Amino acid sequence: MAVKSILIFLLVAVLATCSADAQRTIGIIHVNGTLYCTTNGNITGGPNASPTPVFANAALQVACEADVVALAPVNGTTNSNGAYLVVMIPLRNATINSIVSNCRLFVLTPLSSCDSALPARGLLSNLRFVKTVFGFLPLTYMAAAGFSLQP
Ligand SMILES: *[C@@H]1O[C@H](CO)[C@@H](O)[C@H](O)[C@H]1NC(C)=O
Ligand SMILES: *[C@@H]1O[C@H](CO)[C@@H](O)[C@H](O)[C@H]1NC(C)=O
Ligand SMILES: *[C@@H]1O[C@H](CO)[C@@H](O)[C@H](O)[C@H]1NC(C)=O
Ligand SMILES: *[C@@H]1O[C@H](CO)[C@@H](O)[C@H](O)[C@H]1NC(C)=O
């Protein structure tokens, strides 16, 4: 709770002081999706496929090589439905391209914790720009481009 209020305060402060540049064109970034308990984190399709189990309570982290988002690395967790949301605040000199090319989404919890038959390794994915919605504040959606096992 306290951490949340501090983050919200910080968010407002950052938005108020950096109303130019990245905040005006990118706004807040939501990296969201659903993580499945498979070696590529994807749902497995097919009309006769049994439902793909989700990867619940997995620790996630967006880490960036360059300084493009505030308070990086930014953490998140999947909920009981495997859904996750990582909220990021771009630095004022950041662009969508600099974020996509510098940041990656890591699943820190090893896959073996959702299925002991899977490797004891995490996943990683590049980010993909989805869209920016211009409301009171702009909101930019990003998603995992495709997960693979961490080396
Ligand atoms: C992320 O959230 C938005 C808004 O709820 C939704 O429209 C979008 O489909 C989600 N993206 C993914 C990859 O689930
Ligand atoms: C943005 O500025 C920070 C320092 O203010 C710098 O470390 C970072 O490399 C810059 N990022 C880009 C994409 O230019
Ligand atoms: C994010 O997760 C990492 C690894 O679990 C941890 O070391 C770090 O303190 C966390 N950062 C925050 C802001 O919670
Ligand atoms: C997993 O899903 C992502 C995003 O939908 C897609 O780009 C990727 O090709 C899929 N990977 C495989 C191996 O199906």
Mean pLDDT on 1-18: 61
- What is the best residue among 69, 75, 87, 150 to mutate for testing ligand 3's pocket, by most ligand atoms within 8 Å of CB? 75
pLDDT at 46: 73
Phi, psi of 48 (to 5 degrees): -100, 5
Q: Write the burial class of residue 81 (CB in 10 Å: 0-12 exposed, 13-18 middle, 19+ buried).
A: exposed
Tokens representing 48 are 């006769």
Q: Which of 6-10, 12-16, 130-134 has the lowest mean pLDDT?
A: 12-16
Q: What is the DSSP letter of 99?
A: H
| Atom 6 in ligand 3: residue holding the nearest Cα | 75
Q: Which of 22-31, 32-41, 58-67 has the lowest mean pLDDT?
A: 22-31
Residue 142: pLDDT over 80: yes
Amino acid at 106: F
Of the listed ligands, the closest to the CA of 142 is: 1
pLDDT at 9: 64
pLDDT category of residue 16 using cuts at 50, 70 and 90: low
The answer to whether the CB of 140 falls within 8 A of the CB of 34 is: no
pLDDT at 2: 66
Give the number of other CB atoms < 10 A from CB of residue 30.
16
Ligand 4 pocket member 40 (CB < 6 A): yes
pLDDT at 48: 76
> CA-based angle 39:122:101, to the nearest 5?
95
- CA–CA separation, 56 and 35 (whole Å): 8
Domain boundaries, the chain: 2-149
pLDDT at 10: 62
Dihedral over Cα of 53, 59, 62, 63: its sign: negative
Q: What pTM value is reported for the model?
A: 0.83
10 three-state secondary structure: helix
Ligand 4 pocket member 42 (CB < 6 A): yes
Residue 12: pLDDT over 80: no
pLDDT category of residue 8 using cuts at 50, 70 and 90: low
Place of tokens 């909920």: 79
- CA–CA separation, 37 and 41 (whole Å): 6
CA of 147 to the centre of ligand 3 (A): 21
